[in-house]
Structures are given as C-alpha cells and as structure tokens.
Amino acid sequence: MRIVCPFCGERELGEFTYLGDAKPQRPAADAGEEAVYDYVYLRDNVAGVMSEHWYHGGGCRAWLKVTRNTLTHEISAVEPAAGAGAAKVGA
C-alpha cells in the first residue's frame, strides 16, 4: 500500500504507523465516565470507507487522516491532522 503524504508525497506503507478510527473525538474534561468509555473502547467495524489516523513516523512525523476503503484498500483522501506543523487552531 502507498499513502500520499500531504507534505512528503507518495510513500510506501513501511514509513507509516496505523492507529485506528479517526472518528471518535476525545470528550471534554467534564463529559463523564460514559463518554470517555465510548471514546476509548467503542469502535465501528467498518467494511468500506473509513477515516483513519496514520502517523508518518518514517518521514515528516505528521499525523494524517486517511480515508481508506477497508475492503479494497483504496485510499480516496489524505489530509493532515488539525495541528500538524505550525497550523493555528482556534482563536
């Protein structure tokens, strides 16, 4: 498999590390145990298009959001994590 890193260009799979589903958002500090439990443990077992976190640790060290079809391995989009590089987030 090859992933087009938005910063480095197309690279082979060995440069990347897979983390998992990029959909769950870390709950706010006061969200309570149930919300955190869902965030930590509950995952969809997607057969099809899925948004995933990948780390380009063998390259530019950017975290990426990769849209991948788990059935065909086709990658339809790759975007950097919100805070990759010096990107300014929020106010």
Partner 1 sequence: MAGDQTNRLNNGGLIDRSTALNFRFDGKTFSGFKGDTLASALVANGVKLVGRSFKYHRPRGILTAGSEEPNALVELRSGARREANTKATTAELYEGLEAASQNRWPSLNFDVMSVNQLFAPIFVAGFYYKTFMWPAKFWEAIYEPAIRRAAGLGRAAQVPDPDHYEKAWAHCDVVIAGSGPAGLAAALAAGRSGARVILCEEDFVLGGRLLADGGTIDGLPAAEWVARAVAELTAMPDVRIMTRTTLFGVYDGGTYGAIERVNDHLPTPPEHQVRQRLWRIVARRCVVAAGSIERPIVFAGNDTPGVMMASAMRSYINRYAATPSRRIALFTNNEDGWRTAETAIAAGLQVAAVIDARPDVSPAHRSLASKGGFPVLHGAVAGVDGGKGGVRKISVSLTGGARAEVEADGLAVSGGWNPAVGLTSYHRGRPKWRDDIAAFVPDGAPPGMVAAGAANGAFGLGAGLREGFEAGAAAARDAGRSGNIGSMPVADDEAFSITPLWHVAGKGKAFVDQQHDVTASDVELAQREGFQSVEHLKRYTTLGMATDQGKTSNVAGLAIMAAVSGKSIPETGTTIYRPPYVPVAIGAFAGHHRDENFHATRLTPSHHWAAEQGAIFVDTGLWKRAQWYPRAGEKDWLESVTREVKTVRSGVGFCDVSTLGKIDVHGPDAGAFLDRVYINAFSSLAVGKARYGLMLREDGIVYDDGTTSRLAEDHYFLTTTTAKAGLVMQHLEFCRQVLFPELDVQLTSVSDQWAQFSIAGPKTRDLLKEIVDPAEDLSNEGFPFMGAREVKLRGGLKARLFRISFSGEMAFEISVPARYGEAMARNLMIAGKPFGVTPYGTEALGVMRIEKGHVAGPELNGTTTAGDLGLGKMMSTKKDFIGRVMAGREALVAPNRQVVVGIKPTDKARRLRSGAHIIPKDETPGPGNDQGYVTSVCFSPVLDQWIGLGLVERGRERIGEVVRAHDPLRGEDYDVELCNSVFYDPDGGRQRG
Partner 2 sequence: MADFSWDIRSPLDRALTSGPYGAQGEAGVSLTEIRNFGLVQVMARRGKAGEMAKAAKAQFGVAAPETPKAVDTADATLIWSGPDQFLVLSKGGKHTMESLAPGFAGSASLSDQSHARALISVSGGKACAMLAKLSSIDLHPDVFAVGAAAATSMDHTSVTLWRGKDRADRQSVFNLLVFATFAESLWHTILDSAAEYGATIGHSEELA
Query: Footprint of partner 1 on this chain (CB under 8 A)?
Result: 1-2, 12-13, 17, 19, 26, 29, 32-33, 36-37, 39-41, 53, 55, 57, 61-63, 73-75, 80-84, 87, 89-90
The least CB distance from residue 19 to partner 1, in Å, is: 7
Rounded CA separation 47/75 (Å): 14
Q: Write the CB contacts of 39 (distance below 8 Å, at least 6 apart in sequence).
A: 24, 25, 26, 27
Rounded CA separation 13/11 (Å): 7
Residue 17 contact, options partner 1, partner 2, none, Cβ 5-8 Å cut-off depending on partner type: partner 1
